[in-house]
Structure 1
Amino acid sequence: IFALITGMSPSIMRAVTMFSFIAIGMNVNRKTSIFHSLALSAFLLLLINPKLLFHVGFQLSYTAVIAIVLIQPILYNLIQPRWKVIDYFWKIGTVTIAAQIGVAPLSLFYFHQFPGLFLLGNMLLLPVLPLIIGLSILLLASLWSGIPSYWLVEILNLSLDWIVTIIEKISSQDQFIIKGIHLDLIELIFIYIFMISSALFFYRSVRKSRRERVLIKEPGYNLHIAIISIICFIGFQSFKKLKTVDSKVVVMHQASGSVISISNREEVLLLVDFHAMDSIMSMAALDRIKSSSLHRNKIITIDSLSNKVKFNDTEVVVLDESGVILKSAETPILLLSHSPKIHLDKIITALRPQIIIADGSNYRTYVNRWRLTSEKRNIEFLSTYEEGAINLCHLEVHKQN
């Protein structure tokens, strides 16, 4: 019922299905493993909807819970406060740190940033949440029984306003957000192998005894796997830095805009046309383009996109909504931008392009029509909608991320 009321998001579905398996095990008087419950809940959800596996919320939810189960006992048993109040906040702190450790690699992979004030936010908010849940249940009961409950509504409103204010103040502290960290998929896999292997190695080493906090163990296969994974991670990063990078002229995919990236090992020239966007959208689009794997750790220069771009042996004629066509002595690459209202067959006859590219600023209906015309004239046609970023130097297509 709770899942239905809250919209059945992946994190909620994970929680309710896992709790259901635990509750079933308790009612049949059988001890259940949290790992078995997690695996069964994931299997059931993926059986219903396999696409959940690629949902960011699904991945973050399960990695957070697995990290709490594996890492939180290690952190908590290192220090055991005698005062109950301190012990209560220590538990909240270790749960928060463990969950953040678990989701940090995924956050860097998808969002390229890490919140520095996560511990402060959770320490302020988590103690209040049980109170809000209890008051909400009490409010529902009072409404059902007909007892006046205006005072409960006022308390809940004040509590929720306080939470929103705290979240806004914490999230507005941009100086505490670590940005610009990028991980490749291979690096992400190595990090999680290292984390899981290290956690499994230390999981049985930390004791609750006050005399002996940590039990020294002989190195096992978990420790060996952790060391090998971190070596592979460092080796992969070194390989990325040492590999040669050729100059590239790349048409990027950007909705409502056109971008051509000219880059070498150290520098990038971005030729952009964002005239159809407002200032907020153009800044967001530019930040996304800058964070692309093609432009990381490089000096970036930005200029406007003209109707003709030439770099070494590559020449691009840009045809936008103005319909202005620049003649070319060579056989150009034709880039269609911002849905120009043209007769493409006549343009092909006039320019004789070797390849036609439509970027993300065009309407899809126009792109489909241009594709049919190009096929009739035996001209290669590429669209960034399907291909992603397109390297014009070698006429190769690679994924833009």
Structure 2
Amino acid sequence: LLYKPVYDFFVPGNGLLDKIWSIVAVSIAAQLVTLPLCLYYFHQFPNYFIITNIIVIPLSNLIIYTGILALALGNIPWISLVVAKALSLMVWFLNAFIHWMGSLPFSVTRGIAITLPESLVLYLILISGAVFISGKKKKWLFVSISLMILLSGSFLRERFGQASKCIFTVYDSRGTGLYDFTAGGKSILVGGLTALKDPFFQETMVKSRWNTKVSGLFEFQHPLPSYCNNSFHYDGFSKKGNYIGFRGKRIAIISKPVPEKVVRKLEVEYLIISGSPKLKLKELMKHFKPGLVILDSSNPPWKVKAWMMEAHGLGIRCYSVSVSGAFREEF
């Protein structure tokens, strides 16, 4: 459907140029067909796909034919060895070339987030546009333009919606506490940032950010570096010691036993227990009146189980990210 309209845009002057243009046309058509799925599932776009495919497509075909030849000549010792070596060399070069292209600056545009309805609308735009180019019927051009306006309106609505959206997340970050505060498309990350080196966690967190359409990231270790005087304030977010304020929500992070002296109970929306401190919830409740107790990933399973049982006995709402997965609250 898309190959012929793309191919007809240019008439090559010789046979070699025609072969190259045919590969380019196939690449563009294939990329357009897979574009909505690529953006929806992988949230990225390969910027150098045309240059890459000029090498990859013919080389892939050559590898397939060489592989078939290697199987056919498998019983002939010397010839099969030469063919196998050639096949191995071609596969190595293909992988090396793709890796090199991927390592070039600006090779991939990442962080593109679209919803399922938006991906379907994008498909309809491509189909109606292709039908218009093939048949020159103006009604399909009108349909395509109307869908583009609809898609643009959806993007604008999401963009303006970010300004009022606040999300608090406690990640299941495998042995460390990591907390994400998102507002207006910007995010502040607090906690054990070493978790970001974990490939599995990177994929989980990045997908979460794509789904919430976060456009920026500021990272601060917990506790904050000494030059910040262990406190930080930025656009509705404030942190002093183990206490955080975020868009009207109060959060306390407890990583060690609290002093016995009690002046008055501190009301907080979220009380995070981190770092496996030696304490009982009953004693902790003398100091805090939490809306929800959150046990992050830095606590061992046996302690989490004990705290969950104690919380149930005390009638306290308690959530464990290692048991139930990442905690996410939108307000």
1:247·1:262 contact (CA, 8 Å) conserved in 2? no
User: Once the two structures are superposed, what CA deviation does each residue of 1:29-84 show, in whole Å capped at 9, x if it has no partner?
Assistant: xxxxxxxxxxxxxxxxxxxxxxxxxxxxxxxxxxxxxxxxx211221233344643
Distance in structure 1 (CA, Å) of the matches to 2:173 and 2:311: 22
User: Once the two structures are superposed, what CA deviation does each residue of 1:132-183 show, in whole Å capped at 9, x if it has no partner?
Assistant: 2222222222224666522222222222222222122211103332233332
Distance in structure 2 (CA, Å) of the matches to 1:225 and 1:85: 38
Matched, 1:245 2:182: no
Matched, 1:228 2:146: yes
Matched, 1:390 2:328: yes
User: Once the two structures are superposed, what CA deviation does each residue of 1:333-374 show, in whole Å capped at 9, x if it has no partner?
Assistant: 321335556544554466443311233555566555544432
> Residue 138 of structure 1: which of 65, 69, 72 is its match?
69
- Once the two structures are TM-superposed, the CA of residue 313 in structure 1 deviates from its matched residue by 4.8
1:181 alignment partner, SS class? coil
Q: Which amino acid aligns with 2:292?
A: I
Q: Provide closer, same or farther for how the CA distance between residues 283 and 173 of structure 1 changes in structure 2, counting only shifts above 3 A.
A: farther
1:125·1:163 contact (CA, 8 Å) conserved in 2? yes
Q: Which residue does the alignment assign to 1:324?
A: 257
- Give the TM-score normalised by the residue count of structure 2: 0.75
2:173·2:201 contact (CA, 8 Å) conserved in 1? no
Q: Provide closer, same or farther for how the CA distance between residues 163 and 248 of structure 1 changes in structure 2, counting only shifts above 3 A.
A: closer
Distance in structure 2 (CA, Å) of the matches to 1:127 and 1:312: 56
Distance in structure 2 (CA, Å) of the matches to 1:330 and 1:350: 6
Q: Which residue does the alignment assign to 1:265?
A: 184
Distance in structure 1 (CA, Å) of the matches to 2:77 and 2:186: 70
Distance in structure 1 (CA, Å) of the matches to 2:55 and 2:247: 58
Distance in structure 2 (CA, Å) of the matches to 1:324 and 1:161: 57
Q: Provide closer, same or farther for how the CA distance between residues 121 and 338 of structure 1 changes in structure 2, counting only shifts above 3 A.
A: farther
Distance in structure 1 (CA, Å) of the matches to 2:284 and 2:208: 33
2:172·2:326 contact (CA, 8 Å) conserved in 1? no
Q: Which amino acid aligns with 1:325?
A: V
1:248·1:261 contact (CA, 8 Å) conserved in 2? no
Distance in structure 2 (CA, Å) of the matches to 1:78 and 1:96: 14
Matched, 1:217 2:137: yes
Report sequence identity in percent. Answer: 22
Q: Provide closer, same or farther for how the CA distance between residues 149 and 267 of structure 1 changes in structure 2, counting only shifts above 3 A.
A: closer
Distance in structure 1 (CA, Å) of the matches to 2:300 and 2:127: 46
Q: Provide closer, same or farther for how the CA distance between residues 103 and 345 of structure 1 changes in structure 2, counting only shifts above 3 A.
A: farther
> Residue 44 of structure 2: which of 107, 113, 118 is its match?
113
User: Once the two structures are superposed, what CA deviation does each residue of 1:180-235 show, in whole Å capped at 9, x if it has no partner?
Assistant: 33323343232222122322443x42xxxxxxxxxx3342xx54543332121111
For structure 1, which runs of at least 5 residues remain unmatched after alignment? 1-69, 206-215
Matched, 1:167 2:98: yes
1:335 alignment partner, SS class? strand
Q: Provide closer, same or farther for how the CA distance between residues 287 and 266 of structure 1 changes in structure 2, counting only shifts above 3 A.
A: closer
- The worse-fitting range, judged by mean Cα deviation, of 134-143 and 237-246 is 237-246
For structure 2, which runs of at least 5 residues remain unmatched after alignment? 224-240
Q: Provide closer, same or farther for how the CA distance between residues 117 and 364 of structure 1 changes in structure 2, counting only shifts above 3 A.
A: farther
- Once the two structures are TM-superposed, the CA of residue 378 in structure 1 deviates from its matched residue by 1.8
Distance in structure 2 (CA, Å) of the matches to 1:359 and 1:196: 47
Matched, 1:381 2:312: no
Q: Which amino acid aligns with 2:266?
A: E
Distance in structure 2 (CA, Å) of the matches to 1:269 and 1:158: 47
- Give the TM-score normalised by the residue count of structure 1: 0.64
Structure with the higher fraction of residues in strand conformation: 2
User: Once the two structures are superposed, what CA deviation does each residue of 1:68-101 show, in whole Å capped at 9, x if it has no partner?
Assistant: xx21122123334464333322222111111112
Distance in structure 2 (CA, Å) of the matches to 1:249 and 1:291: 11
Q: Which amino acid aligns with 1:357?
A: I
- Once the two structures are TM-superposed, the CA of residue 289 in structure 1 deviates from its matched residue by 8.4
Q: Which residue does the alignment assign to 1:198?
A: 129
- The worse-fitting range, judged by mean Cα deviation, of 159-168 and 310-319 is 310-319
2:267 alignment partner, SS class? coil
Distance in structure 2 (CA, Å) of the matches to 1:299 and 1:136: 47
Distance in structure 2 (CA, Å) of the matches to 1:162 and 1:183: 34
Q: Provide closer, same or farther for how the CA distance between residues 254 and 108 of structure 1 changes in structure 2, counting only shifts above 3 A.
A: farther
Q: Which residue does the alignment assign to 1:335?
A: 272
- Once the two structures are TM-superposed, the CA of residue 124 in structure 1 deviates from its matched residue by 0.8
Q: Which amino acid aligns with 2:258?
A: I
User: Once the two structures are superposed, what CA deviation does each residue of 1:232-262 show, in whole Å capped at 9, x if it has no partner?
Assistant: 1111222223347347461332413433344
2:253·2:274 contact (CA, 8 Å) conserved in 1? yes
Q: Provide closer, same or farther for how the CA distance between residues 286 and 123 of structure 1 changes in structure 2, counting only shifts above 3 A.
A: same
Counting matched residue pairs gives 308
State the structure with bigger RCO (CA 8 A, min sep 6), 1 or 2. Answer: 2
2:290 alignment partner, SS class? coil
Matched, 1:128 2:59: yes
